[in-house]
A and B are shown apart, each in its own frame.
Chain A
Amino acid sequence: MRGESRRNVLAGLGAATIAVTAGCSVFDRSGEAEPPRLDTDEIERIVRDPVPETERPAPLQPDEASIEAGLERCAELIDAVPATITTEEIPNGVVREEVGSARESALDGREAVEDAPDRFRSLVALRNARADAREASVAYRAVGTDLHTEIEAERLAARGDVGARLARTSYAGDERDRTLLVAYRIEELLVDARRRMNWGSRPPDPGALDVGELAGDVEYAAATLDAVDALADRHASVAEEAVDFTATLESALESSLRAVSRADPPSRESTVEDVLGREPDRRDVRELAHEAIAPVRRWQQTLSTELSEGRLATGISRAIEVERDVRALEAVVDRIDGSLPEPDGSEPIRSERTAIVDAAEAAPISPDDRSLAGDLTARALERLAWIDRSLAGYVERGNDARLAREYAQYVHLRAQLEALPQAVEAVLARLDTR
């Protein structure tokens, strides 16, 4: 690696003043070298060796009663809508079909709850099943009846409940790693519900389907609140001598902010040229640079937001991610400055993919570990499966393709996985030193 480039990554990009448009490339793409197209045989060769399916670790298993209560609620809502809706009940054919379709989705969702591999996943799946069921039942009831005011009031109340529950997240438990994972998943579920209720605009003259959708969002929030209460109750019941980690997490998060700040990683204003010292002349390198810089750029906002809003478990997870991504960026710059092979055939790409699997297998962190580190490992492997699906898509469709982007994604994911253990160690050390 050229010293200049490493300095750029680690020690200051203060001179960078070129404005960056969020989400857009900052490259001049003229004259850029494109990799050759690979045929489907070559693409298939890259993903021929399957990787084991990975699921994020369940933090704990809630009581069976919480699943049964959710299924009962689901059944009650589904039963409120006839299996066959007549034209007398809903004269508008599109509305009739949509309500029937929502009911079908609820039935499928209920099946997914029953078929889930464990109670944690059943609990999570209940959110969509209940949302679909209420969407159908309220849309059905809203035909010829104005329910909008009533449901909108429910939405506002539920949004307040979700915010209040988020503020009450507990960081107490007898195992630190498990406690962090439980709290992280609780925060994640609540933020997801809040986002869903805030998402989108509300039509000024909502019809039955609009009101149904709104009710579905409210039910999703209600199911989420039930789920997090079930998780929190279960966690509290298994903790024999609970320790409150709140102050430790706050302190570690503040330390992480200071530590990352000292490293002075690329900021929102940093360009790829600032980091690499030049503009890439290969498309795959441009893709790779973008892939590696993008998650680092917003580190300060990411960590500060979690800290100021008090989502401490999410903050610690984000701190690990930032530490990982800064290290991954260093590794990527090293490889770009060194001799990153061109993706001119299946072999260089396959090799990167294999290295990801090897890194996952060699890592001291298993994706099954009930910890933030295990969760991050599992999410990395989910990302691998996602990239694989992109390649499989080319094969299924019989399309040749240039794999510059997918190659860049593999290279970056490898760097992330290889950096993860050190990142975990750095952040957890801040928890230990308090």
Chain B
Amino acid sequence: MPALHATRRHLLSGIAAGMVAPLAGCAAGEADDVDVRDEIRDPGSELPDGATTDIEIRSLRAPDEEPFVRVADEDEPEEEGPSRHRAQAFVLDDGDAAALRIDGDHDAAEEILRFVEATDFESASVVVHQRGIEACYERRVEYVELEPDRYRVQFCRQLKDATEHCEADATEIEAVFLRVPQPYDEEPSRRGSGERSACRHYGEESA
């Protein structure tokens, strides 16, 4: 079989559905202009019921495997400050936003913090996801599913352009900030995320 078939399998594992939003982002430690993308293209008619693409996204990558975004943790004494590195964390009010910290030297950190602080928490929330990713891939958001006590995000991964320099066996950590049009009084009891190994795409024959 052709060696590239692993890639084909990746592609085919995501059935036809639609376009996805590349995560706006930059690598930590680099000249990291935050790529601002306020909406993602309509992913078509095959979204799950209740799913939406009406989200704003920022992201930041660091060339190591340790999470670098800290959020407030109600279980910790306030005077010790926010210290929890969480894989998925909710920023639900101005206090949470003010407590957010981004470790390390990232040019984009301030802009991302401003993005979070500018959120109108009466109508929206910010959810932070931190997870590893292979250096040659980029993570995208397909959609989120939002209800008053439920949050779920569907990510997918896509190979970066061939001209982008990266090591095949290197992994990085990525923090993704999603501003979603759903205010929460507290973290929803039903929350989760999924990630496809390939991004969905239209599958119709072109002729």
Given known contacts A98-B7, A144-B163, A156-B207, is B201 in contact with A93 (CB within 8 Å)? no
Within A124-156, the residues touching B (CB, 8 Å) are 128, 131-132, 135-136, 139, 142-144, 152, 156
A132 to B205 Cα, complex, angstroms:
23
From the candidates A94, A102, A203, A208, name the one contacting B11 in the complex (CB within 8 A). A203
Smallest CB-CB separation from B169: which chain A residue? A93
Given the known inter-chain contacts A131-B2, A201-B201, please indicate yes or no for A97 contacting B168, CB distance below 8 A.
yes
A144 partner, pick from B2, B162, B170, beta carbons under 8 A: B162
> With A198-B205, A201-B203 as given contacts, are A93 and B162 in contact (CB-CB < 8 Å)?
no
Is B4 in the interface zone, CB < 8 Å from A? yes
Q: Decide yes or no whether B159 CB sits under 8 A from chain A.
A: yes
1/0 per position for A342-376, CB-CB distance to B under 8 A? 00000000000000000000000000000000000
The interface residues of chain A lying within 8 Å CB-to-CB of B164 are: 91-92
Against A, the Cβ 8 Å flags (1 = close, 0 = not) of B134-170 are 1111000000000000000000000111111111111
Which among A103, A200, A208, A209 has the greatest number of chain B C-beta atoms within 10 A? A209
Contact of B136 among A95, A102, A143 (CB under 8 A): A95
Query: Are the C-beta atoms of A135 and B2 separated by less than 8 Å?
Result: yes
Cα–Cα, bound, A200→B4 (Å): 14
Known A93-B136, A94-B136, A95-B136; contact A207-B169, beta-carbon cutoff 8 A: no
Q: Is B1 an interface residue (CB 8 A)?
A: yes
A143 nearest CB across to chain B (Å):
4
Contact of B159 (CB < 8 Å), options: A94, A131, A135: A94
Residues of B159-184 at the interface with A, using a CB-CB cut-off of 8 Å, are 159-170
Is B8 at the interface (CB under 8 A from chain A)? Answer: yes
When distances are taken between beta carbons in the complex, the residues of chain A under 8 Å from B207 are 156
**What is the CB-to-nearest-CB distance from A40 to chain B, in angstroms, rounded to a whole number?**
30
Interface residue? B3 (CB, 8 A)? yes
Interface string of B37-67 (1 = CB under 8 A from A): 0000000000000000000000000000000
Q: Which of B3, B161, B163, B167 sits near A98, CB closer than 8 Å?
A: B3
Q: Are B166 and A94 in contact (CB under 8 A)?
A: yes
Chain B residues in 8 Å Cβ range of A207: 159, 161-162
Instruction: Determine the residue in chain B with the shortest Cβ distance to A144.
Output: B163
Stretch at the interface among A27-35, A210-218, A289-297, A383-391: A210-218
- Complex alpha-carbon distance, A92 and B137, angstroms: 10
A87 interface residue per 8 A CB criterion: yes
Q: Which residues of B contact A110 (CB under 8 A)?
A: none
| Chain A: number of interface residues, binned into ranges | 35 or more
Alpha-carbon distance A99/B136, docked complex (angstroms): 14
Q: Are A200 and B163 in contact (CB under 8 A)?
A: no
Contact B4 A92 (CB under 8 A): no
Q: Give complex CA distance A200, B202 in Å.
A: 10
CA distance A149 to B4 in the complex (A): 20
User: Residues of A contacting B6 with CB < 8 Å?
Assistant: 98
Q: Nearest residue in B to A109 (C-beta to C-beta)? A: B2
Residue of A nearest to B19 (CB): A204
- What residues of chain A lie closer than 8 Å to B5, measured between beta carbons? 213
With most chain B CB atoms within 10 A of its CB, the pick from A98, A208, A213 is A98
Q: Are A98 and B201 in contact (CB under 8 A)?
A: no
A85-135: which residues lie under 8 A (CB-CB) from chain B? 87, 90-99, 101-105, 128, 131-132, 135
**Does A258 count as interface, using CB distance less than 8 angstroms?**
no
* CB pair B168 A210 closer than 8 Å: no
B160 surroundings in chain A (CB, below 8 A): 92
Chain A residue with the shortest CB-CB distance to B203:
A201
A2 at the interface (CB under 8 A from B): no
Given contacts A94-B136, A210-B7, contact A204 B201 (CB under 8 A): yes
A93 near B168 (CB under 8 angstroms)?
A: yes
Could you jot down 5 A-B contacts, CB within 8 Å?
Answer: A92-B164, A92-B165, A101-B3, A135-B2, A202-B203
The 5 closest A-B pairs by CB, nearest first: A201-B203, A93-B168, A101-B3, A91-B165, A94-B136
With A91-B162, A128-B2, A204-B201 known, 14 other A-B pairs at CB within 8 A are A92-B160, A93-B167, A93-B169, A94-B134, A101-B4, A102-B4, A105-B1, A200-B203, A203-B11, A203-B201, A207-B161, A213-B4, A213-B5, A213-B7
| Interface residues, chain A, with chain B CB atoms under 8 Å away | 87, 90-99, 101-105, 128, 131-132, 135-136, 139, 142-144, 152, 156, 198, 200-204, 207-210, 212-213, 216
